[in-house]
Every structure is written in C-alpha cells, then in structure tokens.
Amino acid sequence: MISVLIETKDNENELAKTLASLVPGAVEGLVREVIVCDHGSSDGTELVAEHAGCVFLATASYKDALARARSDWVLILKPGARLVPGWIEAAREHVAVADRPATFSRSRQTELSFWSKWLKRREDFGEGLLMRKGKTSSQKSLRLRAEIHAV
C-alpha cells in the first residue's frame, strides 16, 4: 500500500481532478491514504480534500506531511496531475521488486514541445515520484511504465 502526498495552495479544481484519478487505486487496495499538505489556500481546497476523505494538513511542512504518512511508500503528485490507466499495475510492481524511487512520465496528450521542455525548470520528481519513505538514495530514479496527464 502507498500513501499519496499532494502539496496545494489554491488548487481546488486541480485537486479534484487528481483525487478522481486516484479512486481506482483506492478501490484496488493500493492507495492507503491521501495527505493534502496545504500552504494557505483561500479557495475550496480544504473542502474538496475533506469530502474526499483526505488527511488535510493546513500550513504543514512537506517534512511533517511525509512523517504523517502511514505507508512505507509515498507517491508525490502535483495538483492537477491525472494518472492514466495502467498506473496501478506499474506502481504495484515497482513497490514489490524495487528499492529505488521511480518517476512517472508525461502522457503523449500533454507532452510539452521540445522548446517548452528545454525552457521549463526541471523538478526532481518530474511529473510524479514514487519513493520509499525515509530512504534517500543517490541512485538515479527509475522510470515507471505509467503516465500522467500533467497540467
């Protein structure tokens, strides 16, 4: 089982889309909990999180949210990211056999142009990161055979 961590600030609509894509993972028993780490939203982000049954942490740090996670593996997502079919099997397989973190790739439908990719600031976790809680690794992240519709 995995815990999902989503950092937000005024991401009501984006959060709803991401949570909707996580429902199949919860039904299949892969997603144990979703933790929304909010940084002072003034919209309905908290209401969306609470209605979906998420743990909502107002003004908590990323470190606090990670410490609150109950699973050994944590999936970090951006608000608005929508996991595409096949992600459950890829994540389950990775958790069962790998010890290194893994990143999701952007789906073809939301893929950036060459110049947009080149100019965009690269983030350590790409479009989504699946990692073992409390374990930092100097090894390069693996790529999961799963995609995310990114915003």
- How many domains does the chain fold into? 1
- Residues 131-147 have a mean pLDDT of 61
Task: Write the CA distances from 131 to 92, 107, 118, integer angstroms.
Answer: 12, 20, 26
* CATH code assigned at 75: 3.90.550.10
Largest CA distance in the chain: 41
pLDDT band at 108 (very low <50, low <70, confident <90, very high): low
Question: Could you write out the three-class secondary structure of the chain?
Answer: CEEEEEEECCCHHHHHHHHHHHHHHHHCCCEEEEEEEECCCCCCHHHHHHHCCCEEEECCCHHHHHHHCCCCEEEEECCCCEECCCHHHHHHHHHHHCCCCEEEEECHHHCCCHHHHHHCCCCCCCCEEEEECCCCCCCCCEEEEEEEECC
Please say if the pLDDT value at position 4 is more than 90. Answer: yes
Range of the domain at 33: 2-149
Pairing type for strands 128-132 and 102-106 reads antiparallel
Task: Write the CA distances from 86 to 24, 90, 91, 106, 117, integer angstroms.
Answer: 10, 6, 9, 14, 24
The pTM score is 0.81
Q: Are 120 and 81 in contact (CB under 8 A)?
A: no
Q: d(Cα 46, Cα 70) in Å, to the nearest integer?
A: 21
Please say if the pLDDT value at position 99 is more than 50. Answer: yes
**The predicted structure's pLDDT at residue 133:** 84
